[in-house]
């Protein structure tokens, strides 16, 4: 499966003046070099400022989209802006189905389907929003609601490359509440399965699914590490210069053509792009409160470390097997180091050249607690 390019959307909602937009765009422009083309970024200002925002961000790779689009073509539809008119204004993206449109303005599943159809016919790319209310979550209807909202548009989509799905649990939008990373991952995996059943595995593996709902610079790193979270649709936090920090957090570690491999005792807290050979000492065990993760004790002649892997990768972690790990990162769990094989990392059985002969079992670097400033 080819890695999906991270995607960050900034929904500015009904906020901003000309002056505040100039200030924000200046901050975004100055921070854009930190991620370049490694992350796809789309911001959606208020309609009167679409052209202004395009001009202010013209020297960056940031794209500008609309927050809404008409279900109708051009004509006697006062207050509406058609997909064709967005295209004429060189606007290439739009939101459809945001919960505020659904709950406050009566936007039904049928209306979202008509809007998607218009955008597909015109070539406008869509961030399609889905998500359940608190009442629906507590009733155990999260997957049912997401499936209903998606099913409404499946037969309208002819070009999946112009579709990004944004899962936003309504109860978490603007409330400060956020689904735990495991809760979000569970919903994202279910959404990918729904897409797979309707449109095929190839489409499901390629479509990007964003998380939205009180995303901040503080919680974004843990969320983006999850296998099926491909980015974020950010509300209030996208109106601040620290929106740059959220975008940078989504940058994948570089894949080295000739990676340098290091020993366990050289691992540092929060290191990224780690390449190493490790011999498995103990069978994988379940991580508390996470169905998708397993922990494996492994090491080399300099020490040992707890390796965190996804459940679907645990089968290769047999005792005595030497693993070749590339592009992993060191996560800090309550001050303790865990070498984490996330969606951007590669893990496989090593060949004879990389085989670890002995392991220094009495030096477990995951047993040392760090205090990070």
Q: DSSP string covering 71-131, please? A: SS-SSS-TT---HHHHHHTT--EEEE--HHHHHHS---HHHHHHHHHHHHHHT-EEEEEE-
Among residues 317, 316, 345, which one has the least CA distance to residue 329?
345
The pLDDT score that the predictor gives to residue 64 is 98
Mean pLDDT of 139-163: 97
- List C-alpha distances in Å: 284 to 245, 287, 363: 34, 9, 19
Query: In this structure, what DSSP letter does residue 166 have?
Result: E
Q: Report helix, strand or coil for 217.
A: coil
The pLDDT score that the predictor gives to residue 373 is 58
Cα separation, 98 vs 171, whole angstroms: 13
Among residues 209, 269, 220, which one has the least CA distance to residue 243?
220
CB 210 within 8 A of CB 127: yes
Query: In this structure, what DSSP letter does residue 173 have?
Result: T
CB 317 within 8 A of CB 260: no
Tokens of 342: 């996330």
Mean pLDDT of 159-180: 87
Mean pLDDT of 317-346: 92
**pLDDT at residue 1 above 60?**
no
Mean pLDDT of 76-81: 97
263-285 burial by CB neighbour count: b if 16+ within 10 A, else e? ebeebeeebebbbbbbbbeeebe
Q: What percent of the chain has pLDDT over 70?
A: 98
Residues tagged active-site: 98, 168
**pLDDT at residue 176 above 90?**
no
pLDDT in tens, 217-254: 998 988 998 889 999 999 999 999 999 999 999 998 87
The pLDDT score that the predictor gives to residue 372 is 59
Among residues 59, 60, 54, 210, which one has the least CA distance to residue 127?
210
Q: Using 50, 70 and 90 to split pLDDT, how confident is the model at 37?
A: very high
DSSP string, 326-371: EEEEEEEETTEEEEE--TT-EEEE--GGG------TT-BGGGSB--
Q: What percent of the chain has pLDDT over 90?
A: 80
Residues 6+ apart with CB under 8 A from 314: 284, 294, 296
Q: Using 50, 70 and 90 to split pLDDT, how confident is the model at 43?
A: very high
**pLDDT at residue 267 above 60?**
yes
Does the reported pTM lie above 0.75?
Answer: yes
Strands (E), 132-270: 163-167, 208-212, 231-234
């Amino acid at each position: 499966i080819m890695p999906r390019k991270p995607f960050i959307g900034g929904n500015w909602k009904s906020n901003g003046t000309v002056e505040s937009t100039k200030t924000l765009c200046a901050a975004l422009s100055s921070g854009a070099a930190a991620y370049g083309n490694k992350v796809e970024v789309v911001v959606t200002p208020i309609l009167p400022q679409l052209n202004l925002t395009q001009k202010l961000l013209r020297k960056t790779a940031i794209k500008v989209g609309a927050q809404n689009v008409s279900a109708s073509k051009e004509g006697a539809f006062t207050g509406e802006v058609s997909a064709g008119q967005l295209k004429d204004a060189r606007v290439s993206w739009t939101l459809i189905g945001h919960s505020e449109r659904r709950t406050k303005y009566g936007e039904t599943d049928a209306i979202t389907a008509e809007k998607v159809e218009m955008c597909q016919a015109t070539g406008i790319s869509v961030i399609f929003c889905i998500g359940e209310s608190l009442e629906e979550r507590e009733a155990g209807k999260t997957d049912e609601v997401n499936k209903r909202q998606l099913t409404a548009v499946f037969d309208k989509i002819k070009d999946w490359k112009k579709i990004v799905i944004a899962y936003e649990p309504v109860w978490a939008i603007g409330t400060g509440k956020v689904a735990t990373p495991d809760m979000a991952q569970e919903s994202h995996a279910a959404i990918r399965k729904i897409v797979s059943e309707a449109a095929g595995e190839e489409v499901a593996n390629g479509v990007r699914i964003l998380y939205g709902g009180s995303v901040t610079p503080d919680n974004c790193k843990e969320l983006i590490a999850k296998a099926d979270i491909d980015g974020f649709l950010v509300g209030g936090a996208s109106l601040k210069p620290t929106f740059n920090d959220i975008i940078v957090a989504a940058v994948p570690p570089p894949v080295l053509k000739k990676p340098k491999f290091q020993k366990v005792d050289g691992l540092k807290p929060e290191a990224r792009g780690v390449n190493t050979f490790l011999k498995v000492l103990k069978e994988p065990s379940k991580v508390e409160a996470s169905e998708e993760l397993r922990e494996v004790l492994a090491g080399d002649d300099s020490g040992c470390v707890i390796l965190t892997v996804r459940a679907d990768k645990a089968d290769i972690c047999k005792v005595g097997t030497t693993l070749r790990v590339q592009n992993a990162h060191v996560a800090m769990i309550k001050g303790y180091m865990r070498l984490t094989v996330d969606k951007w990392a590669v893990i496989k059985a090593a060949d004879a050249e990389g085989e670890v002969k002995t392991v220094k079992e009495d030096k477990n670097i995951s047993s040392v607690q760090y205090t990070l400033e």
